[in-house]
Amino acid sequence: MKKVLVVCQENTARSQMAEGYLRFYGKQRFEVYSADFNLREVHPLAVAIMSEDSIDISLQRTNPIEYWQHLRFDYVILVGDISPSDLPSYLKTAKQIVWNLPDPAKAKGTEEEKLATFRTIREEIKSLCLMFIGQKFPLGVLSMQY
């Protein structure tokens, strides 16, 4: 089974959603983990909108990137404002994929407007995860800017 690490700056929303989708859709092919550079709690709106898609991420926890240094990953997916050059050396041997997605946790407005932002990013993440699982793009360094 291939090991995948999803890395984000804060590991509260984007990486948690990606971890949820990759675990759900890729459970027979991938072991999935997530990590961050700035430890926070999983965002409650991420939990809420993932439950709309019947995926429960409420028990997922944020982990500092050093937490997984004992594992060797096949893929590292960067979902935020992180460059592959920011990765610690023990992750640089993995194939690196960059999905530079906006952070829905920074959305402004009413609760409904924030939920709409989270849903938009969720759909992007879901699509990217399904492409990754189906290998619909080269699995070397891939950069997708949004």
8-45 pLDDT per residue, tens: 887 789 999 999 999 999 988 999 999 987 767 899 99
Query: Residue 140, SS3?
Result: coil
| Whether the predicted pLDDT of 146 surpasses 70 | no
Helical ranges in the chain per DSSP H: 14-25, 44-51, 111-134
Rounded to 5°, angle at Cα 117 from 61 and 36? 30
To the nearest whole number, what is the mean pLDDT of the chain? 88
pLDDT score for 109? 96
Question: Of 127, 97, 111, 135, nearest to 43 (Cα)?
Answer: 111
Higher pLDDT, 21 or 139: 21
Domains and CATH numbers, the chain: 2-145 (3.40.50.2300)
pLDDT score for 46? 96
| Whether the predicted pLDDT of 84 surpasses 90 | no
Model-level pTM? 0.88
